Amino acid sequence: MRFAIRTASLGVAIILAASVVVAQAQATFPTLDIRVPVPPRPFVAGGAVHLAYEIHLTNFSGMATRLDSVEVRDTARPEEALLASFEGTQFDGALCCSCG
């Protein structure tokens, strides 16, 4: 995932919104393990600094899960405004899945 920010030294928490795709009338949210194992990697493209994040998701529920959006927040001030938010076609273009 890439996005421009002013500094590449922020600690960032990734908050993932996931929805469950189930064939039942009652939808439940799965148990997900979400990790950012390494700090984001900065790079310059198009005259701006971008960050590439590695996010590991593990679905322990056994149910199909769809990731709809990602919010990026400063871990020092998570209650403050978002640093970035991705959803819809913008979210689809920011993803690179290495899953099998």
In a domain, 5, yes or no: no
SS (H, E, C) the chain: CCCECCCCCCCEEEEEEEEECCCCCCCCCCCEEEECCCCCEEEEECCEEEEECCCEEEECCCCCEEEEEEEEEECCCCCCCCCEEEEHHHHHHHCCCCCC
In a domain, 19, yes or no: yes
Q: Which domain holds residue 35?
A: 12-94
Q: pLDDT for 71-85, tens place per residue?
A: 888 878 878 878 888
In a domain, 3, yes or no: no
> Is the pTM here over 0.75, yes or no?
no
In a domain, 39, yes or no: yes
Structural domains of the chain, count: 1
Q: Is the pLDDT of residue 89 over 70?
A: yes
In a domain, 75, yes or no: yes
In a domain, 84, yes or no: yes
In a domain, 56, yes or no: yes
In a domain, 99, yes or no: no
- Assign 17 a pLDDT band (cuts: 50, 70, 90): very low
